[in-house]
A and B are shown apart, each in its own frame.
Chain A
Amino acid sequence: MSQHPTHHRENHRIAVLGALALGFALLLVSCKAAVDQSEPAELIEKGWQKFRLDEQGSAAHFFTSALAKLADARSKSPETPTEKRLHIQATYGLGMVWSLGRHGEDSAKARGLFAEVIALEPKGEMAPWAALAIVRDEHLPVKSTDPIDRTALREKYQKVLTGYPGTPAAEEAFAFRQSLFLQTLTTEDARTSLAEMTAYLKDHPDTRCQSALYGLISQANRTLHDDPAALAASIKALETKEVDPSNPNMNNIVEYYSIGLTAEYDVGDFATARVYFNKFLDEYPTDQRAFNVRRELERMKMIEAAHGDTTVAGELGMRPAGGPGGLPEGSVLTTAPASAPESHKGGQ
């Protein structure tokens, strides 16, 4: 069958366009291949960069590419210690993509990858982090309404603690375990947790989690209504707090403020309250709470002048709800003389 010349030209154009598209696709593939030419360590670094930007597809691509390159190397010669380290790190990275990046899509896959990390080097640096990651994957609900089995999770954190004692991952697992106890707000759990934390701090005086644990001890004591102990633990938490100097929001503003209030209102320890309120004013004089802090200092002075009579606290204006204030019902429009001709609004 003969073709019309116009159709012939049309086909020609389509062929040219097709060839161009093919060329473009090849160019893209070659670019991607060029990316894959990076060394595994570099690919892992890029993977974490993408993970941080929440570009999980790209992160998975880089971790998978690193794994492929390492597998290729393994097929040619035995794996060196460096290659094994990278192998473990890439597997861990890919596990994180499936655990957190695509949370709930395929938890089995994520946990399988973490198990692989543990199996590759059970005594290695990454094994405790992988073990902790498995428990965190279970702890973080897929849907925010999913119930949390605190008892089961506490046991799982305990296994990380006993399986990898002395490691940073184990310390973190211990802190999460205590947090789970204290979330119930029962005196029984608070006592259990308090005993565990006290023993842990005795056995691990140099733990990097000191501040977090003292913060938790303070909470346990609050649940047990032991306010002086809660105050002492809050102060220890502050003293051992690690501050990230690069984060301007990481400061002691709230700690000074709340310790001051606890000392003043819960314990009646004005000396301690003054120490922290004054630190507040020295270090953060322009923070909005400094206004309240000055008022608290004034209030304490007034109470002391009244020989410990706390009822004078109302003199400063901060009073319990229900006292006088505002207008009597129905008088709202009579405060200012209404001489306007309209009963309500101006004439716009």
Chain B
Amino acid sequence: MARADVVVQTGFWAVFRRSIPLLAILAAFVWACITIVARRTEEAPPGAIVIRIGHWQLEAGIRRSFDTLAEEFARDPQVRGKYGNRKIVVIQDAIPEGIYGQWATSQMMGETAPDLVEIGQGLPGSLWLQFQTRYFLPLTDIANAPNPFNKVTPEDHEELAARVRGTYADGSTVPAESRLTAEQGAERLAFYEELARVPFRLTYTDGMRNGYQEELQEYMRVPLSRATIRMFYNKDLLKKLTNRDEPPQDLATFLQVCSEIRSHRTPGGSSYTPIASSNYNMAMWGYGLFGSAGYDALVQADFNRDGTVGSDETYAAFRAGRLTFYSPAIKARFDIARIVSNYFQTGFNGLGRDDAVFNFAQQNSVFMTTGTWDAQSLVTLAEGKFRIGAMRLPQPAPDDPHFGRLNVGPILDEVGGYGFPFGLTRFSKNPECAKDFLLFLASRRVNERMNRDIGWIPAIRGAAMPRSIEIFAPVNQGMYSGFDFIGLGGDTNVRFNQLYESYLSKPEYTYKQFVADFEPFYLEKGLADWENQQRDWRRAILNNEKFLAAVRGTALAAGANADDPLWVKYRSYTAAHQITPEIGRAVQESILRNGPDRPVGPYEFLDAAKENIRRQASVGAADGRGGDSAP
């Protein structure tokens, strides 16, 4: 076999030429190192306290607001008093939503996560729960202590005095809506003092429930804002196409307006799409208008009488025949979904959030339903092109012949609508300072200012909303969904979504067909999904038991007495999570397999109750008082 001789050239230039690629890589590496070090030094001089904060809010307003507030935080006298003259630097890692889950995972695994991380995007809830267990520090200590940044300041006194006086210190007049009487001023001051005194958690409008992680029995997050769902509209286009300044609030007239909009042609010659939508926006409609149409189902399906109906109770109600697809609330929900989606763009279910925004920004659509978190972005997109308005979702009027009787109140805004929640990671090099920064952001004054700057709703009591976004104010009393199909998961979910998509997008696919295709499947195959759900629940029992063992072990090791908070927590958690829920599950299983043993729905009178009511009424009528006594 012939052997090729390889001639290796030697000498400086030959070696140099061969090494050029390697040298280039080396040079790039050194350059990158120098750049990173230089940038880091520039951002955070040696000796500075650096707080890194990771979030997915790419909106310019939010990043700018964080920067401004970080500077204010560093200058705050309390902060300077605590950390001396050390420079405090807050560095933001703003990560796009699409990759936030991967970013968070790699940061946690690599133990390089920022001090503060926004929680909740890009990963399933169960994974965020695991992350919080392993990589985040509990914030219960700060939740239970007063927020030092809520201390009443001379500026607060001066501001209240000015509002009572009617003129600010600079001589300008206080707007009429901000004026206070002397009594109101004193009340406001007392309220500010109360906020400064009470535990931080009680300064939240919801008692900081959304920062609490039930599975860990700890406060793990500090939410900074609230959000609601609203319909945004192009004011100029609405005027141009319908000669209206405001869209109608009742559903039937709103749909007429949509129809009118669609009859017009865009400059390109195609019809206007009344409502810009996508798979993402559909969920907003689902929660808001469509869901609330199903409120009445509560009467038949809230078996455990906790005021909400989960997918398991919905399934039990259907299996038991207490609900059918022709129950008024159920049918109304699907009818309204179909009527409204008739005015979405074709193929909306296959489109994403950006497609809907593009359609709206291009002025091909008049309306778009989304969360108030998108408001600022929409305003920025529309700047110089058109004016934007916002409204609550339209609802059937009381005299609506088809849906009026089901509409018994406003649409409830999402209860868990507290957002922008940050947790403190175990990797923080300055956990104390990071906690202080969170407390600073969640103090009344700062939370009000921050949310005013970014156009969101404050999460802290007493933090006022600007008048311009009053329409975003949460409605906390109203109708909400009385059933849930998709929460059952598994095959039920897949089948439902397939058929529902056809139902919404194919005019020839009737409700009757939808029911014929889905109902038998749901009743038969749903059982397997329900059983899976029960298995998940059973696994949760083991996790509860672990949690309880840790509390018990700690209490025993500490020699705590029976009244110690650890034992109180232990007993109350055991009763609520381990002893009685098993019976509730057994009751639900019995309903599925044997039907309910209560002859009427949970919000309907038993015969014995009716008898008692009649008896009391007759006794009351006989002795001239109202029938209002116990049996």
Contacts and interface: CB of A to CB of B under 8 A. Distances in A.
Interface of A: 41, 44-45, 47-48, 51-55, 89, 92-93, 96, 100-101, 103, 125-126, 129, 133, 136, 140-141, 144-145, 168, 172, 175-176, 179, 182-185, 208-209, 211-212, 215-216, 219, 225, 227-228, 241-250, 253-254, 257-258, 261-262, 264-272, 274, 286-292, 294-295, 303-304, 307-310, 313, 316-327, 329-330, 332-333, 335-348
B576 interface: yes
Contacts of A289: 307
B402 A52 contact: no
Given A168-B562, A172-B574, A341-B271, A265 B617 contact: no
A291 B602 contact: no
A250 B572 contact: yes
B542 interface: yes
A266 B606 contact: yes
A89 to B, nearest CB: 6
Interface stretch (B21-29, B58-66, B436-444, B472-480): B472-480
A248 B586 contact: no
Given A48-B550, A268-B613, A329-B512, A339 B628 contact: no
Interface in B333-374: 335, 338-339, 342-346, 359, 364
B405 interface: yes
Given A184-B586, A265-B604, A307-B621, A330 B510 contact: yes
Contacts of A319: 296, 299, 328, 405
Interface stretch (B206-214, B225-233, B377-385, B518-526): B206-214
B587 A325 contact: no
Given A41-B557, A103-B542, A325 B406 contact: yes
A263 to B, nearest CB: 8
B270 interface: yes
Interface in B485-514: 507, 510-512
Given A168-B562, A268-B611, A332 B335 contact: yes
A248 B613 contact: no
Given A136-B545, A247-B572, A268 B209 contact: no
Q: Which 7 A-B residue pairs are closest in the complex by CB-CB distance?
A: A325-B328, A308-B617, A268-B612, A336-B255, A268-B609, A347-B271, A326-B331
B614 interface: yes
A55 B130 CA distance: 11
Contacts of B274: 346
B134 A304 contact: no
A209 to B, nearest CB: 7
B545 A175 contact: no
Interface in B65-120: none
Given A308-B617, A326-B402, A267 B612 contact: yes
Given A325-B331, A332-B511, A340-B263, A244 B556 contact: no
B363 to A, nearest CB: 13
B569 A320 contact: no
Interface SS, B side: helix
Interface string B259-286: 1101100000011111000000000000
Contacts of B534: 144
A346 B476 contact: no
B504 to A, nearest CB: 11
Contacts of A330: 510
Contact of B602 (A55, A243, A246, A265): A265
B448 to A, nearest CB: 19
B327 interface: yes
A247 B604 contact: no
Interface in B408-456: 408-409, 412, 415
A291 B477 contact: yes
A274 B545 CA distance: 37
Interface string B551-565: 111101100001001
Given A246-B565, A318-B299, A265 B212 contact: no
Contacts, number: 344
Contact of A270 (B332, B405, B616): B616
A245 B328 CA distance: 42
Nearest to B619: A308
A129 B556 CA distance: 10
A339 B264 CA distance: 10
B327 A288 contact: no
B542 A140 contact: yes
Given A267-B612, A270-B627, A330-B510, 11 more contacts: A265-B606, A265-B609, A288-B415, A290-B477, A292-B298, A295-B408, A304-B627, A325-B329, A325-B331, A333-B342, A340-B259
Contacts of B298: 292, 318
A55 to B, nearest CB: 7
B249 interface: no
A328 B368 CA distance: 29
Contact of A348 (B359, B407, B630): B359
A303 to B, nearest CB: 6
Contact of B542 (A45, A51, A100): A100
Given A175-B579, A244-B565, A336-B255, A348 B539 contact: no
Contacts of A242: 568, 571-572, 575
A348 B608 contact: no
For chain B, which range describes its interface: under 10, 10 to 19, 20 to 34, or 35 or more residues? 35 or more
Contacts of A216: 579-580, 583
B226 to A, nearest CB: 12
A320 B300 contact: yes
Contacts of B557: 41, 44-45, 48, 89
B462 interface: no
A265 B342 CA distance: 41
Nearest to A137: B545
B601 interface: yes
A101 B144 CA distance: 30
B587 A185 contact: yes
B472 to A, nearest CB: 17
Contacts of B546: 51-52, 54, 100-101
A96 B548 CA distance: 11
Nearest to A143: B535
Contacts of A172: 574
Given A184-B586, A323-B328, A346-B343, A310 B605 contact: yes
Contacts of A52: 546-547, 550-551, 554
A48 B630 contact: no
B84 to A, nearest CB: 31
Contacts of A324: 328, 405
A257 B618 CA distance: 27
B626 interface: yes
B548 to A, nearest CB: 9
B623 interface: no
Contacts of A241: 572
Given A140-B542, A346-B262, A227 B608 contact: yes
B603 A318 contact: yes
Given A125-B556, A344-B342, A288 B606 contact: no
A343 B507 contact: yes
A307 B207 CA distance: 42
A31 to B, nearest CB: 16
B574 A327 contact: no
Contacts of B583: 179, 182-183, 216, 219
B157 interface: no
B402 A335 contact: yes
A272 B629 CA distance: 8
